[in-house]
């Protein structure tokens, strides 16, 4: 039986851990009882009734199998039935106590309810497709030339900047030299020297819009104008090749950037000298730590992470990939200086299966992260017949035109309009509803005001669709319903158990003492104990002065430590103990006449004195053996509570259904 108690304890600890890691989700819905959440499923018979609560086979079987999967030794069905019935009784007791209506419980349940729904609010086929496309990028290296301009300038609007790039694109398609145009127009300072050449586009480094456009544009062609968070862009794809794989390397750098030719030549000579030293057998890692001018390399022996195409400057990349494993390069000149490279390993791109989680995490971090959820919301719009009302949209536009955009006048007019702007099976949206979600600041032009209005409408509709999905999810996804019920019941089980057993076993001092008196024979020591305080000090003189102070002052026990610190600072301390003879040298010394602990055994503490100490042959109160009594008292309270629950919530088992469970 103890093993089963332990199993449930571990399960509750897992519930507590889950409670700590949940993310806050803004979703205000009411907590509902399992009976309200349960779908009326065919072929899901009642396996038992506890009190007035039916438990269906799907719920019981889910928890029974999960329990056995998590344990080294399987629990027999009969034993688990007993555990399960008691668990349900405690949940019913929690509901009867109103714990399911407490605001903090409702809020926590709703947070978990929304968090648990997140994976179900995506379209799996979209996620799979995005990961496959992302993986295909790892299998190919694409080189590009690039021109970027600011979205707008002090003298040119966004539309004009877009038109500029569009005209450059036209020139390039007609044979203009990309390098000349990049040097002249690109906002990238390096373009004047690089002529816009970027080399290979590393996967997962640049904004996805940039990466995607590079991989979608044919070799030699020029991309349409596109935008990222950094500005407006056009690309020309200069080459494509199968992925060259990844290399593991170390390097030693001698920096020449910013040096004159004489100083740079000196760095070259230093690199040549180190190269000869390494060829003679010197340890690369040691030499790198001592000689490299790459700051990070001094701490790790020049170690570099695995890198593929586009991650390093072209000269470094070419040299590293041309080496064999274990081979050291001659000094390689880059814009940074001279590098000596030791190649340590090489590998091809990993399989899709081994990279799938990495691909999913990468997608979640950029603009692709919301595509699957967006598809799900669009499905919901079709499912619940979300339809805009064109007449109402035109009415809103006319108000913006009449009032010169979004301002107090427009807000006053629109706030009184109850015309339906969106119809659906899950509710209608009125113009006045949208006004509440509009920006507080004025918007001075009609086009921008319309955009803000449409964005507000979309936010409201998306929230409605999410709420609708959340409402039907328990009926449509058994796995979601099972997890939701499990978490809800776990919360209630923890709270009611804490009230009835755990907290009471630690705080009911009268009950603990009474239990101790009734079971005194269960708590017997085989050695005498010292009960009292240990006074420790930095010297005998301080110890004597501190003891004299304590004995000469009427201080409440709760204030002893604070008062001692006020008088003696950190030169003395007080610790309350109840310790058996032979357990520690200090207690043996102050309580049982043992040898004085040698100086240095306890750091700066060298002198010890007893304070309010006494020797007990056997425990005199529950506090003398509190941990043991508390555990026993807890089991006693649990047993008494279960007896009361059995009377309040009798069980009725459906043996025919139970016998079919494997």
Tens digits of per-residue pLDDT, 194-248? 999 999 999 999 999 999 999 999 999 999 999 999 999 999 999 999 999 999 9
Chain center to CA of 494: 24
Please name the helix (run of DSSP H) or strand (run of DSSP E) that holds residue 426, with its range, or none: none
| Nearest-angstrom CA–CA distance, 51 and 649 | 4
State residue 33's pLDDT score: 37
- Angstrom CA distances, 277 to 248, 268, 302, 322, 326, stand at 22, 14, 16, 22, 16
Look up tokens 């008062």; give the residue: 563
Q: Degrees (nearest 5) of the Cα angle 163, 169, 172?
A: 145
Alpha carbons 98 and 105: distance in angstroms, whole number: 10
Q: Where are the alpha helices (DSSP H) in 365-445?
A: 371-383, 390-403, 408-415, 431-435
| Mean pLDDT along residues 522-533 | 96
pLDDT-based confidence at residue 630 (cuts at 50, 70, 90):
very high
Q: Residue 105 above 70 pLDDT?
A: yes
Q: Does 474 have pLDDT greater than 80? A: yes
- What is the pLDDT averaged over residues 408-428? 95
Question: What's the whole-number mean pLDDT along residues 587-616?
Answer: 89
Average pLDDT, stretch 328-356? 95
Confidence of residue 43 (pLDDT cuts 50, 70, 90): confident
When mean pLDDT is compared across 83-87, 450-454, 550-554, the lowest value belongs to: 550-554
Angstrom CA distances, 32 to 51, 53, 417, stand at 18, 14, 35
Q: Residue 512 above 70 pLDDT?
A: yes
Check residue 330 and give its pLDDT: 96
Q: Residues with Cβ < 8 Å from 478, sequence gap 6 or more?
A: 39, 41, 58, 62
CA angle 126, 132, 134 (to 5 degrees): 100
pLDDT in tens, 275-315: 999 999 999 999 999 999 999 899 999 999 999 999 999 99
**What would the mean pLDDT of 148-152 be, rounded to a whole number?**
94
Phi, psi of 268 (to 5 degrees): -65, -45
pLDDT band of 60, cuts 50, 70, 90: very high
Classify 54 as helix, strand or coil. strand
Cα–Cα nearest to 538, from 605, 590, 628: 605
- Do residues 434 and 417 touch, judged by C-beta distance below 8 A? no
Cα–Cα distance measured from residue 124 to residue 374, given in angstroms and rounded to the nearest whole number: 12
> Do the strands 429-430 and 420-423 form a parallel or antiparallel pair, or are they unpaired?
antiparallel
Model confidence, pTM? 0.68
Strand pairing category for 572-580 and 607-616 = unpaired
Nearest to 169 by CA among 185, 158, 155, 154: 185
Using pLDDT thresholds of 50, 70 and 90, give the confidence band for residue 393.
very high
Buried b / exposed e along 99-133 (16+ C-beta atoms within 10 A): bbeeeebeebbbbbbbbbbeeebbbeebbeebbee
Mean pLDDT over residues 80-106, rounded? Answer: 95
pLDDT score recorded for residue 554: 86
Look up residue 350 and give its DSSP letter.
P
Taking residue 390's Cβ as centre, other Cβ atoms within 10 Å add up to 9
Q: What per-residue confidence (pLDDT) applies to 39?
A: 41
460: helix, strand or coil? helix
Q: Which of 534, 551, 544 is nearest to 592 (CA)?
A: 534
Buried b (16+ CB within 10 A) or exposed e, 536-560: bbbeeebbebbbeebeeeeeeeeeb
* 43, 467 Cβ separation under 8 angstroms: no
Confidence (pLDDT) at 20: 37
Q: What is the pLDDT of residue 69?
A: 85
Per the prediction, the chain carries an average pLDDT of 90
pLDDT for residue 590: 95
The single-letter DSSP state of residue 501 is I
Where does the pLDDT of residue 602 fall: very low under 50, low under 70, confident under 90, or very high at 90 and above? Answer: low
Pairing assessment for the beta strands 572-580 and 529-537 based on DSSP bridges: antiparallel
**What's the pLDDT at 68?**
85
The neighbouring-strand residues paired with 607 are 537
d(CA 321, CA 324): 8
Q: According to the model, what pLDDT value does residue 290 have?
A: 94
Residue 11: predicted pLDDT = 37
First to last CA, the chain: 22
Tokens of 25: 């989700």
Q: Determine if residue 603 is left, alpha or beta; phi over 0 gives left, psi from -120 to 50 gives alpha, anything else beta.
A: left
């Amino acid at each position: 039986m103890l093993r089963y108690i332990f199993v449930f304890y571990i399960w509750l600890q897992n519930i507590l851990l889950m409670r700590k890691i949940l993310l806050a989700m803004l979703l205000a819905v009411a907590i509902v009882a399992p009976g309200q959440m349960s779908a009326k499923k065919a072929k899901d018979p009642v396996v038992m009734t506890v009190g007035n609560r039916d438990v269906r086979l799907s719920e019981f079987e889910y928890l029974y199998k999960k329990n056995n999967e998590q344990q080294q030794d399987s629990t027999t069905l009969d034993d688990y039935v007993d555990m399960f019935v008691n668990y349900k009784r405690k949940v019913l007791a929690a509901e009867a106590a109103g714990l399911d209506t407490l605001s903090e419980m409702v809020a926590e349940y709703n947070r978990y309810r929304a968090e648990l729904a997140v994976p179900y609010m995506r379209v799996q086929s979209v996620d799979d497709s995005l990961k496959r496309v992302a993986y295909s990028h790892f299998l190919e290296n694409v080189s590009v030339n690039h021109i970027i301009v600011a979205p707008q300038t002090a003298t040119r609007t966004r539309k004009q900047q877009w038109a500029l790039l569009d005209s450059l694109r036209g020139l390039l398609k007609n044979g203009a030299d990309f390098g000349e145009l990049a040097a002249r127009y690109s906002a990238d300072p390096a373009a004047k020297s690089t002529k816009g050449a970027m080399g290979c586009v590393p996967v997962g480094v640049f904004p996805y819009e940039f990466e995607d456009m590079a991989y979608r544009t044919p070799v030699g062609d020029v991309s349409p104008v596109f935008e990222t968070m950094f500005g407006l862009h056009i690309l020309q794809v200069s080459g494509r090749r199968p992925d060259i794989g990844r290399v593991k390397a170390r390097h030693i750098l001698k920096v020449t950037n910013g040096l004159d030719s004489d100083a740079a030549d000196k760095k070259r000579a230093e690199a040549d000298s180190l190269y000869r030293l390494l060829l003679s057998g010197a340890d690369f890692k040691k030499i790198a730590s001592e000689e490299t001018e790459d700051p990070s390399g001094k701490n790790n022996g020049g170690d570099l992470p695995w890198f593929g195409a586009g991650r390093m400057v072209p000269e470094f990349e070419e040299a590293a990939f041309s080496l064999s494993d274990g081979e050291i390069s001659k000094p390689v000149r880059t814009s940074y200086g001279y590098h000596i490279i030791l190649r340590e390993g090489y590998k091809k791109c990993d399989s899709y299966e081994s990279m799938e989680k990495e691909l999913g995490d990468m997608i979640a971090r950029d603009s692709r992260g919301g595509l699957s959820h967006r598809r799900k919301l669009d499905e919901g719009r079709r499912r619940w017949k979300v339809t805009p009302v064109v007449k109402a949209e035109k009415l809103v536009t006319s108000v913006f035109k009449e009032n010169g955009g979004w301002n107090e006048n427009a807000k006053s007019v629109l706030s009184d309009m109850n015309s339906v702007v969106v119809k659906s099976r899950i509710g209608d949206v009125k113009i006045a509803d949208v006004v509440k979600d509009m920006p507080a600041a004025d918007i001075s032009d009609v086009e921008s005001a319309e955009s803000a209005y449409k964005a507000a409408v979309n936010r409201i509709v998306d929230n409605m669709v999410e709420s609708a999905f959340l409402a039907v999810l328990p009926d449509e996804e058994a796995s979601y319903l099972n997890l939701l019920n499990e978490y809800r019941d776990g919360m209630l089980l923890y709270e009611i158990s804490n009230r009835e057993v755990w907290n009471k076993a630690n705080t009911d001092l009268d009950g603990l003492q009474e239990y101790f008196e009734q079971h005194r024979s269960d708590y017997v020591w085989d050695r005498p104990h010292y009960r009292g305080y240990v006074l420790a000090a930095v010297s005998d003189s301080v110890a004597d002065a501190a003891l004299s102070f304590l004995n000469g002052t009427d201080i409440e026990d709760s204030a002893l430590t604070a008062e001692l610190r006020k008088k003696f600072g950190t030169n003395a301390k007080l610790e309350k103990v109840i310790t058996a003879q032979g357990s520690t040298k200090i207690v043996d010394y102050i309580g049982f006449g043992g040898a004085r602990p040698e100086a240095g055994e306890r750091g700066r503490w060298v002198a010890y004195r007893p304070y309010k100490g006494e020797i007990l042959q056997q425990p005199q109160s529950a506090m003398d053996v509190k941990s043991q009594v508390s555990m026993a008292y807890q089991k006693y309270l649990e047993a008494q509570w279960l007896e009361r629950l059995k009377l309040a919530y009798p069980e009725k088992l459906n043996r025919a259904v139970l016998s079919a469970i494997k």
